[in-house]
Every structure is written in C-alpha cells, then in structure tokens.
Amino acid sequence: MNPNAFQLKPRMSEKAYTLSQTQNVYVIDVASDATKQSVAAAITEQFKVTVIKVNITNVKGKAKRTIAKKGRLIRKGHNNAVRKAYVTLKANDKLPFFAAVEEAEAKEKAAEEKAAKAAKSDTDKTESKPRRGIHLRGRKDNK
C-alpha cells in the first residue's frame, strides 16, 4: 500500500493525550486495509520522525437501536467500526497533534502565576501601616 494512499487522523481523547505525554505513543485512526508497515512509512514520511513500533487494533461498532414515541417504531443500527494504530516514537520525537492543548495549558499556568503574584502584592499592601492624615477614633495606634 502506498503511504500517501490514506490520511492519518489523530484520535483526540484524554487517554490518547496521556499516552502521548507519558509513553510517547500516539493513537491514530487509519484505513481498514492499512498495515503496520504502511502506517510507519506514512508517519515517517509526513512528520519526519523515527517510528519504533506500531500496534493496530480493530474496534467493532456498537449495536444501537432507536425507539420512537409510544414504542411503535424501532430502528436498529450500529456505530462504524474503527481501526486504530498505536504508534511508538523515538524518545525525543513528537507529533504536533496536541500542540494547541499544550499551548492552552502553558497560558493557563502563566495566568495562575500572574494571579498568585497579584494576590501576594495585594496582601502586602493591606498589611502596611495606615496612611498619614487618617485618624480613626477608637484605634489604639492613634494618639
């Protein structure tokens, strides 16, 4: 099979994201007739990375049924079957599938740090001594 004959569609899920971060394994939906060698060749050619291992699984579509009002009409169907490839890359290689997620996490972290810094400066200001010229009755520090 020609490596350019099918498209590589990344699987965007929490499990796939965790695998990519911890084990450098990326999950990709591939064509039903794709082989391990063709998937490895396509990824190497398209992204210029080193593929160590490819595992392929076939996930059968679940049977579903729909019942119309008052139970008169029952339609049976199923979800589509999917073929997934688990691609393990060399240690320092990455695929840009989750780049937007990583950018969003970096922005969120920067915003949290900025908020913490602002909160710290606000607490420093409130703990300072009262300004000159303000005399409040009943306070012990006013003479």
* 121, 85: one domain: no
Same domain for 28 and 68?
A: yes
pLDDT of residue 68: 76
Number of H helices and number of E strands within the chain?
3, 6
DSSP category for residue 62: P
Assess whether 54 and 103 both reside in one domain.
Answer: no
Query: Does residue 88 sit in the same domain as residue 113?
Result: no
Share of the chain above pLDDT 70, in %: 80
Whether residues 103 and 79 share a domain: the answer is no
Q: Please answer whether residues 59 and 32 qualify as being in contact, where contact means their C-beta atoms are separated by less than 8 angstroms.
A: no
Residues 53, 89, single domain; the answer is yes
Tally of structural domains, the chain: 2
Q: Do 103 and 90 reside in the same domain of the chain?
A: no
Domain that holds residue 73: 3-94
Predicted pLDDT at 120? 79
pLDDT of 142 above 60: no
Of the candidates 85, 89, 84, the one whose C-alpha atom is nearest the C-alpha of residue 24 is: 89
Q: Which pLDDT band, with edges at 50, 70 and 90, does 129 fall under?
A: low
Among 43, 39, 33, smallest CA distance to 97 is for 43
Closest-CA residue to 26 (of 105, 103, 84): 84
Give Cβ neighbours of residue 16 (< 8 Å, ≥ 6 apart): 10, 26, 27
Residue 44: the pLDDT is 93
Domain check: are 111 and 85 in the same one? no
The SS3 assignment for 77 reads strand
51 and 115 assigned to the same domain: no
- Together in a domain, 88 and 110: no
Decide if pLDDT at 143 tops 60: no
pLDDT digits (tens, 9 = 90+) for 84-107: 999 999 999 988 888 877 788 888
The reply to whether 17 and 77 lie within a common domain is yes
- What are the pLDDT digits (tens) for 10-42? 999 999 999 999 999 999 999 999 999 999 999
pTM of the model: 0.66
89: domain CATH number is 3.30.70.330
